[in-house]
Amino acid sequence: MTRILGIDPGVRGGLAFVIIGDGVAPRLIDALDIPVIGTGAKERVDVIALRKWIVFHRPEHALIERAQAMPKQGASSGSKYGRAVGALEAVITCCEIPLTIVEPSRWKKFHGLRGGDKEGARQLALLQFPAAHDLLRRKKDHGRAEAALIALAAVSIIKVSLSGDAAEGALPRQNSEAVT
């Protein structure tokens, strides 16, 4: 059994804790919107709440979608997004959890998703994790859904087997690793 944390970054993103292995279907154990404090331009990731949630679940590995500027994104919102991603990566690192940075196209290809179809990702996550309907029931839960799908893509990206054993040497020994 391997405990994976999936992260859809940003202040409107999501976190998902998925267990893969034991010869059974992967399970979405918990998911939440990224905790934030402040409002407006001062809104930022609540790193204390984030750390508590992560420590409670004790993931063995984390996968985060690579941050990238969005078309027509202004300097202020781009800066806010970058700060959020940096805070997420810093908390994971401080918790001493191996971190893999994943290209959006990589995890989406694994699931057969195209482009930025947030609702399509949420619907797919509901199909993959039917017992976790309450965690993904709202349309605005797309960040949680994408985080769950990112975690599930660990089967391909870091070679976590569905029987629960990581392939020999599959988990990176360094603290972070980028995957294209």
111-165 pLDDT, tens digit per residue, is 999 887 899 999 999 999 999 999 999 999 999 999 999 999 988 888 766 665 5
Q: How far is CA 112 from the centre of its chain?
A: 17
pLDDT at 179: 52
pLDDT at 125: 96
What is the model's pTM?
Answer: 0.86
Residues 34-60, mean pLDDT to the nearest whole number:
94
Q: H helices within 95-178, ranges in order?
A: 104-111, 118-128, 142-152, 154-157
pLDDT at position 3 over 50: yes
pLDDT at position 175 over 90: no
